[in-house]
Chains A and B, each alone.
Chain A
Amino acid sequence: MAEMPVIEPQKCNGCGLCVSVCICGALVLVNNVITIVKTVECDWCTDCEAVCTTGAVSCPFEIVIQKP
Chain B
Amino acid sequence: MTVQLEFLRSILYFSGLGFAELESIKEFIFEKTVDRAEIVLLEGESAENLYFVASGVVKVFKTSVEGKEQILSIVRPGESFNDVPIFDGGLNRVTAQAMGPVLLYGIKRNDMETIVKDHPQISLNIIKVLASRIRHLVSLVADLSFKHVIGRVAKILVEHIGGEMGRGPRLTQQEMAAMAGTAREVVGRSLKELEDAGAIKLDRHRIVITDKETLQKIVEMAY
Contacts and interface: CB of A to CB of B under 8 A. Distances in A.
A20 B168 contact: no
Interface string B179-223: 000001000100000000000010011111110100000000000
20 contacts: A3-B205, A17-B57, A19-B100, A20-B55, A20-B102, A21-B99, A23-B36, A44-B205, A46-B172, A49-B174, A51-B57, A59-B173, A60-B170, A61-B170, A62-B205, A63-B161, A63-B168, A63-B209, A65-B208, A66-B201
Nearest to B158: A63
A51 B170 contact: no
Interface in A37-54: 43-44, 46-47, 49-51, 53
Contacts of A19: 100
Contacts, number: 92
Interface string B95-110: 0000111100000000
B56 interface: yes
A60 B171 contact: yes
B57 A61 contact: no
Contacts of B210: 66
B9 to A, nearest CB: 18
A20 B101 contact: yes
Given A51-B76, A62-B170, 12 more contacts: A15-B77, A17-B100, A20-B100, A43-B204, A49-B172, A51-B57, A59-B173, A60-B170, A61-B170, A62-B168, A63-B160, A64-B208
A62 B206 contact: yes
A63 B207 CA distance: 5
Interface of B: 36, 55-57, 74, 76-77, 99-102, 157, 160-162, 167-168, 170-175, 184, 188, 201, 204-210, 212
A62 B172 CA distance: 9
A1 interface: no
A19 B99 CA distance: 11
A65 B161 CA distance: 7
A30 interface: no
Contacts of B57: 17, 20-21, 51
Interface in A9-30: 15, 17, 19-23
Given A64-B161, A64-B207, A59 B201 contact: no
A58 interface: yes
A51 B74 contact: yes
A31 B162 CA distance: 37
A47 B11 CA distance: 24
